[in-house]
Structure formats: C-alpha cells, structure tokens
Amino acid sequence: MTVARGVALLGATGSIGRQTLDVLRRSGEAFSLDSVAAGRGHLAELVAIAREFGVRRVGVAHEDDVEQVRRHLGDRVEIVVGEGGLAELAARSEIVVNAVVGFAGLPVTVAALAAGRRLALANKESFIAAAPLARRLAATPGAEVLPIDSEHCAIHQCLASSTTPGYPDVRRLILTASGGPFRGWSREELEGATKENALRHPTWSMGPKITVDSSTLMNKGLEVLEASALFGIEVDRVDVVIHPQSIVHSMVEYLDGSVIAQLSMPDMRLPIAYCLGYPVRLDHAWGALDFTSSHTLSFEPPDHAAFPAIGLAHRAVALGDAGPAWLSAANEVAVESFLHDEIRWADIVPVVTTTLERFEDGPLNSVEDVVAHDGAARREARRAIGGRS
Ligand code: NAD
Ligand code: MG
C-alpha cells in the first residue's frame, strides 16, 4: 500500500485553490489534504472544504475568525492565524500548494522552502519579490519548486530536453501569452478600456487580480521575471510571443534551433496535477487535445508600444535586486485601486512606471528586507495614485 502524500493548500478558496481540490478529488488515496487556509471573507467555504476532506489544520487570516471555525469544526482541528499561521502550515506538509494571491503569499514560499518541502507555486508574486532569497532557500535539502503557472510548468517540461546543468544548451525561453481581452486595441482605444472589458479574459477563467494583470500584459512582465528567477536564466533570454489560442503553453529554443513546446487545452488542473505528481504523471488527462477536430495555432509579436508592461519588467531588473519587488508591489496597489474604481485601466501601468522612477535601492538578503521594499514601493504607488486623482 502506498502512503498518501500530505498536501497543504493555502489559498484554498480561490481559482487555483478550487481547481486543486478538483485534482485531489480525482486522485483517490494518492494524496491527503492536511491543511487549508484562506483570506478574509471565505470562512464558510473553508469550513466546507475542511469537512469534505477531513482536514486537520485550518489557517484563517484574522483572530476574529477563529471562533466561527471552531464552532463549525469543533476541537478536532487545529486553527492557526495570519502570516505566522500560513508559515506554520507551509512547514508541516510534504507538498505545499501556494495558491494565495499577491504578496500575502510570501510566508508560504519562504516557510515551505526553508523546511525542505515541495513548493507547488501558483503565487508568482512572492517568488518574484524575494527572488535572490527564494533561490537560496530552494537549495535547502529536500526543497524543490514546481511551477503551477502554466507557462513555467510548460518550460519545466520542455527543459527536460536539456542535458547540462545551468542550461548552457538553451538559447532562450519563449513564453506564450493569449494577449488578453485588449489584443489588437490601439493606444487610443485603450484609453477607454473599462473594468468590464478587463475582467473578461478570452481563454482562462481566473481570480480578479491576475485577470487584470493579463489585460495589461503585466502578468507576462511578471512571468518573464518569474521564469528568470525559477530557472536561473537571464531576463534577456526570456522572450514573449502572443498566441491567442492558449494551446502552446510555452517553449524552449535550444542552441541548434530546435524548439520544444508543451501543448494542451487551457486547463489549470493539468499543471496542478503535474506539480502534485512529479515525476509521476497522474492518470487523468485534464485539457487533452482532440486532434479529430481542427485547431489553428497562430503566433505574433507583442505590441510593446500599446502594452509597455513587459518592457517595464526588464527595466525593474536593471534597477537592482529589489526592482522586481517594487514592480510587483506597485502593480498590486494599482490593480486594487483599479478594482475599487479609484483609477482607470489606462492608469495602472503609468502608476507602476512612476513608482519605479522613485525606486530606492537597498539590500535584499532577508524576509525583512523584502517586506521593507514591498512597503516602500506601496507607499510610492499610493503617492503616484494620489497625484493622478
Ligand atoms: P483568487 O483571488 O481566485 O484566490 C486567492 C486565494 O488567496 C483565496 O483563497 C483567498 O482567500 C486567498 N488569500 C488572499 N489573501 C490571503 C491571505 N492574506 N492569507 C491567506 N489566504 C489569502 O486568485 P487565483 O486566481 O487563484 O490566483 C492565485 C495565485 O495563482 C496568484 O498569484 C496568481 O497570479 C496565480 N495564478 C493563477 C492562475 C489562475 O488560473 N487563476 C494561473 C496562474 C497563476
Ligand atoms: Mg501564466
């Protein structure tokens, strides 16, 4: 009999969280869900998940939420609170799925790696902001990072063709992007982009933050940084190509000109299952392609003039180690502000640009350093927003 592998699912009630639960439901005895956590406002769903899966540990965002969870689940579950609680849960399971959105996922990434766990990473923001630290922690015995982000999961699979550590035989990584809901819009047309347009993604159904990031192409800028941080490949060797069908999830070009790609229908349950099972492939074909019907695949270069976010990500790297933390924090503030109708869609990337102009360098060796840079960037982003309204 095989022993079930323990899983902590942190950010269990979101888009990635729910799809991870789907994979677990279909995986029978292979995995056991040990721990779940969510942010504020998702308690009823969290309790329902804990009941369904017989979860032993539950993380809530605030002390005030403990009582309600205790009332529903009784004394048989352990309840932990806040950032410290997330870190505790992340340190205790064999596999840790970081499905929290935004910088709030940092304690999960850090604690899972420091404890030598498998980190199944959806939360790109934490890895980008803490890249030098996260890479160091990933060298902890037992620690490994498996990317859930579909492009990076594709690259992880395509890099299996590389025969040399450090990938000297790789010319470049090629990230695909759907182009989002505004593909083909001119700069003038984009001035009138609305929240309703921005939240309607053509190929993926995701949480609101990443859906907005996809509409500005900031998601792709963040993903260039994520790819560089995950695989140790300079940003200049990470290219982006627009591929509206979202079937080729990304590619690796080798020195001899060979390009290896990974294909499937857009379904996040495939990369989630890959990260849970690796190196074993789980036996349910999420997103399998049907070649009895026809598919057309097209590729085009991004329009950098209309969508400057990818260029901004390169600029952030040139600023220094903490540049990516500033970019990601400023973007998070701008997107929140857009979702609260405080700024227009067309203001999001300019707010990030202004924030980067006020970048202040400093060391990035510890969690405290990362948090300090994040805080400084948020203050500057709010100032930039104040200057616009
Ligand atoms: P979402 O908004 O749907 O869900 C976010 C989850 O995080 C929720 O469970 C929420 O309760 C939880 N959360 C928020 N703040 C928290 C806190 N302080 N403490 C604990 N939990 C907290 O977001 P999503 O779309 O599932 O995205 C999650 C992450 O995965 C993001 O980093 C995103 O970029 C990445 N990602 C998502 C997709 C996708 O298809 N949705 C694809 C690739 C990458
Ligand atoms: Mg992605």
Q: CB of 91 closer than 6 A to ligand 1?
A: no
pLDDT tens, residue by residue, 234-270:
999 999 999 999 999 999 999 999 999 999 999 999 9
Alpha carbon nearest to ligand 1 atom 30, residue: 122
Q: CB of 207 closer than 6 A to ligand 1?
A: yes
Specify the pLDDT at position 389: 63
Instruction: Give the position, in ligand 1's atom list, of the atom nearest the Cα of 100.
Output: 7
CATH code for the domain of 71: 3.40.50.720
Res. 354 pLDDT band, cuts 50 70 90: very high
* Mean pLDDT, residues 58-73: 97
Total domains, the chain: 1
Q: With respect to residue 170, please indicate whether it lies within any of the assigned structural domains.
A: no
Q: Is 156 exposed, middle or buried (0-12, 13-18, 19+ CB in 10 A)?
A: buried
12 Cα: distance to centroid of ligand 1 (angstroms):
8
For residues 360 and 3, the model is more confident at: 360
Q: With respect to residue 245, please indicate whether it lies within any of the assigned structural domains.
A: no
Q: CB of 269 closer than 6 A to ligand 1?
A: no
Specify the pLDDT at position 387: 83
Q: CB of 17 closer than 6 A to ligand 1?
A: yes
Q: CB of 107 closer than 6 A to ligand 1?
A: no
Q: Which ligand is nearest to the CA of 120?
A: 1
245 Cα: distance to centroid of ligand 2 (angstroms):
14
Please enumerate in sequence order all residues whose Cβ is within 8 A of that of 244, keeping only pairs 6 or more positions apart, or say none: 178, 179, 183, 202, 203, 298
Instruction: Give the position, in ligand 1's atom list, of the atom nearest the Cα of 208.
Output: 2
160, pLDDT greater than 80: yes
Q: CB of 123 closer than 6 A to ligand 1?
A: yes
Q: With respect to residue 200, please indicate whether it lies within any of the assigned structural domains.
A: no
Q: CB of 316 closer than 6 A to ligand 1?
A: no
Paired with 80 in beta bridges are 59
Q: What single letter denotes the amino acid at residue 35?
A: S
Q: Which ligand is nearest to the CA of 270?
A: 1
CA distance 176 to 241: 5
1, pLDDT greater than 90: no
Per DSSP, the residues of 292-345 read TS------B---TTT-THHHHHHHHHHH-TTHHHHHHHHHHHHHHHHHTTSS-G
- CB 49 within 8 Å of CB 12: yes
Helix (H) / strand (E) element for 58: namely: strand 57-60
Res. 3 pLDDT band, cuts 50 70 90: confident
208 Cα: distance to centroid of ligand 1 (angstroms):
9
CA distance 137 to 126: 13
On average, the pLDDT of the chain sits at 97
CA distance 18 to 111: 23
* Mean pLDDT, residues 346-355: 98
Q: Is 49 exposed, middle or buried (0-12, 13-18, 19+ CB in 10 A)?
A: buried
Q: With respect to residue 50, please indicate whether it lies within any of the assigned structural domains.
A: yes
CA distance 57 to 225: 33
154, pLDDT greater than 70: yes
Specify the pLDDT at position 385: 98
Q: With respect to residue 377, please indicate whether it lies within any of the assigned structural domains.
A: no
Specify the pLDDT at position 28: 87
Q: With respect to residue 24, please indicate whether it lies within any of the assigned structural domains.
A: yes
Which protein residues have their CB within 5 A of the ion that is ligand 2? 149, 151
32, pLDDT greater than 90: yes
Q: CB of 14 closer than 6 A to ligand 1?
A: yes
CA distance 387 to 98: 35
Distances (CA, A) of 322 to 197, 327, 371, 375, 385: 32, 9, 11, 12, 21
Q: CB of 37 closer than 6 A to ligand 1?
A: yes
Beta strands (DSSP E) in 122-220 are: 144-147, 170-177
pLDDT tens, residue by residue, 183-239:
999 999 999 999 999 999 888 889 999 999 999 999 999 999 999 999 999 999 999
Q: With respect to residue 250, please indicate whether it lies within any of the assigned structural domains.
A: no
300 Cα: distance to centroid of ligand 2 (angstroms):
18
Q: CB of 98 closer than 6 A to ligand 1?
A: no
Specify the pLDDT at position 204: 85
370, pLDDT greater than 70: yes
Provide the residue range defining the domain that includes 92: 5-147
Q: With respect to residue 49, please indicate whether it lies within any of the assigned structural domains.
A: yes
Alpha carbon nearest to ligand 1 atom 32, residue: 123
214 Cα: distance to centroid of ligand 2 (angstroms):
9
149 Cα: distance to centroid of ligand 2 (angstroms):
5
Specify the pLDDT at position 2: 72
CA distance 151 to 264: 11
pLDDT tens, residue by residue, 280-333:
999 999 999 999 999 999 999 999 999 999 999 999 999 999 999 999 999 999
Q: CB of 223 closer than 6 A to ligand 1?
A: no
206, 328, 374: residue to mutate for ligand 1 pocket, most atoms within 8 A of CB: 206
* Mean pLDDT, residues 131-154: 98
Unique residue bearing structure tokens 């040990």? 34
Please enumerate in sequence order all residues whose Cβ is within 8 A of that of 7, keeping only pairs 6 or more positions apart, or say none: 24, 31, 32, 33, 34, 35, 93, 94, 95, 96, 97, 276
Specify the pLDDT at position 90: 98
Per DSSP, the residues of 334-376 read HHHHHHTTSS-GGGHHHHHHHHHHT-------SHHHHHHHHHH
